Structure 1
């Protein structure tokens, strides 16, 4: 498939999934990640769609998506990870308990969940600004961005170390991530109904406690500092600082300082020198969860991580592919882990390849002197889409597509293609 053909197909998938409408006095505009499986507006999915839209050159549509994402923002800055614009009930049983109790009284009106997702939105707005140079738009959304990141800082940095905690596996964006198994008390390897019940019990507990964050932290049932979540947080604080500078906002330094502290704590608490890997942290004691998921090398993209450490991680796990050597990289879990399963399953993120991992690492490798490895990641994604279409995830050995069809995330291949051409 040529670049032009790929772009045409990405555009078709994205616009076929696009929704606009009115409800409760709001005019919303977003893209469904897939036609039936994921019909709502999701937080970090919306950010992915912005990257795809800007790669397509549709900056105005990207702006509409961000505006829609912040329409229900609460006065304290909070934005939930799913926004229900018209359908009153969630699509999955587990999502029912992700609503705040007060939301049950207004299900027919637009409402949000009580959970968050990886905070990618500042980079999404940064991308819009870099493409459009629209400072008026930055001034419009900057107060909302600042309020959102300030909420995260106040409410999820429990220890004051600059690291954010998640209170549910769903907040990581990688729902059934295998590194969470020990925290949930699941030791059976591959996911099954017992893992489902443990997650459901956790969600019910959060709901019963009204998502009171102080109580949840004290009980410490699921307080996890996810590597990817915090890497994205650090990156986006830097992006937020750049947006502040672009319009002369004096708080740029505050967000740079928070980003630096987050980077320092990632290095201090998450890095395991013996394994040359960054691990998620569990509980108030911040114990490393030594499971080799694909996020073990995410922090290498941060400028504050020493080059010797970045090179050690890349050489061990990505370049030499220790546990990640498959025909279609990057698998979401090392093939050596007991939980690894490459096929289709309800318990996702435990083996298959997701385009988002390749997208996340591609630009870094391209600009840090690893063009050959960057090209391999792009070539793998192109081949997956050419033979299996736009699917949610793929078998890392055969390339067979699984999960949702017409899945928009795979459209990130276009941003990778543009990135390989020097597109910013």
Structure 2
């Protein structure tokens, strides 16, 4: 599919309109702060037309890094009243204020892609030398405080950390969280911006905020929470993105002579085995795992294809994944739905229970391309571009009708459009998409 050149300036204008002086909000009103994985993809979009601004995005993101290395999922650079829960509810005593959980760690991979695309390699190398030790500290935090027993799988302590907040994969694990009877009252802000039918249910929000109170009562002690938090899962989105990020961190260490290769290689061996332990031969799919019960969470989600992005899957398993996605494609108009469309839990327009997300499509397409399935990778790219061109740069999209859903003028959707418009090659893929 050919890019509509007229939409490239529009995508650039969305990033510029959402610029808040060095960081980019996902969209005005609904999400008025800087989010971790949004910032990574947004930087990739900025890279297509303003390299200095792209690197600034990451510099400001790391202003929120904790002294233990954790990179929080929200940095509250300035007060805003249109979002809940804000810094007062999180209660993190630092400047700038932040949340107390993380998100899919895309930064190392984005930094490598930015270096490979840089028209100003001197600036890129200077920025990488500054960013690398901070990214390394973040990845060490994951290993030390979220995988203390070296299982190769990260313990995720909140659905918001996974990036896929209300995925049906979390239904049972979240349902076991008893709502705090003393939960402080609150007023949601999201449903004043977006139709409630496209957002998580109130019962889920009560549990999301209960977990926030659990965090605060534990003093944000990660090792205690890994033992005691009522919500503990292994998330394919987190584990696969982290594995790929560690591959790219290893590449950066070798490229710049940082000397951390042995340590990172050890992480990779453990996480390769951990991710592959999530494979289900009968289903032809990878499943998330409930770490409280030790059982697989047997619902297919878009993240089930991300071991291809991670690069851990065998050729045989890659072929099975292709067949599984082809079956999904027979049930929807646009790939990749965030939940298996044959599942009774599939909801075509409710946030992470069915809609298509451009950023996840980008990662899945890269995985299929690298395993030699260029036709499927091309289909995912084509569907994503068509959705943007017919429904605008929406937060997410209806997989059956193509309707734009959630927030509008959305930064990371515009950024993915720019990334695929400026270069038809997915980074590192070696094949045209």
Cα separation, 2, equivalents of 1:92 and 1:203: 12
TM-score (norm 2): 0.86
Cα separation, 2, equivalents of 1:362 and 1:415: 13
Counterpart of 1:23? none
Counterpart of 2:103? 117
1:274: Cα distance to partner?
A: 1.0
Counterpart of 2:194? none
Once the two structures are superposed, residues 356-412 of structure 1 have per-residue CA deviations (whole angstroms, 9 ceiling, x without a partner) of: 222112223334332222222222122211221111111111111111010112120
1:102: Cα distance to partner?
A: 4.6
The verdict on how the C-alpha distance between 1:303 and 1:284 changes in structure 2, with shifts beyond 3 A counting, is: same
Cα separation, 1, equivalents of 2:173 and 2:315: 32
Once the two structures are superposed, residues 144-184 of structure 1 have per-residue CA deviations (whole angstroms, 9 ceiling, x without a partner) of: 11111111111111431121111100000111111011112
Counterpart of 2:298? 290
Residue 370 (structure 2) pairs with residue 364 (structure 1): no
Counterpart of 2:334? 328
Counterpart of 1:420? 424
Cα separation, 2, equivalents of 1:422 and 1:172: 23
Q: What pairs with 1:355-394 in structure 2 (closer than 5 Å)?
A: 355-394=358-397
Secondary structure at the residue paired with 2:219? coil
Q: Is the 8 A contact 1:6 1:414 kept in 2?
A: no
Question: Given the alignment, which residue of 252, 255, 258 partners 1:246?
Answer: 255
Counterpart of 1:155? 145
The verdict on how the C-alpha distance between 1:191 and 1:336 changes in structure 2, with shifts beyond 3 A counting, is: farther
1:95: Cα distance to partner?
A: 7.5
Cα separation, 2, equivalents of 1:72 and 1:193: 29
Cα separation, 2, equivalents of 1:88 and 1:379: 37
Counterpart of 1:24? none
Q: What pairs with 1:168-317 in structure 2 (closer than 5 Å)?
A: 168-185=158-175, 192-268=201-277, 270-315=278-323, 317=324
Cα separation, 2, equivalents of 1:281 and 1:335: 20
Counterpart of 2:57? 65
Once the two structures are superposed, residues 331-350 of structure 1 have per-residue CA deviations (whole angstroms, 9 ceiling, x without a partner) of: 1111222222112x4xx201
Higher strand share: 1
TM-score (norm 1): 0.88
1:421: Cα distance to partner?
A: 4.5
Higher relative contact order (Cα pairs below 8 Å, separated by 6+ residues) = 2
Counterpart of 1:406? 409
CA RMSD between the two structures: 2.3
Cα separation, 2, equivalents of 1:349 and 1:311: 25
The verdict on how the C-alpha distance between 1:92 and 1:422 changes in structure 2, with shifts beyond 3 A counting, is: closer
Deviates more, 1:37-46 or 1:376-385: 376-385
Q: Is the 8 A contact 2:340 2:354 kept in 1?
A: yes
Counterpart of 1:30? 23
User: How many residue pairs get matched?
Assistant: 401
Residue 113 (structure 2) pairs with residue 127 (structure 1): yes
Once the two structures are superposed, residues 57-112 of structure 1 have per-residue CA deviations (whole angstroms, 9 ceiling, x without a partner) of: 42211111111111232332122110001116681248865x2x453xx6xx5211
Cα separation, 2, equivalents of 1:74 and 1:217: 18
Q: Is the 8 A contact 2:173 2:231 kept in 1?
A: yes
Structure 2: 5+ residue stretches without partners: 178-198, 429-433
Cα separation, 1, equivalents of 2:426 and 2:36: 28
Structure 1: 5+ residue stretches without partners: 21-28
1:423: Cα distance to partner?
A: 6.2
Deviates more, 1:76-85 or 1:285-294: 285-294
Q: Is the 8 A contact 1:391 1:401 kept in 2?
A: yes
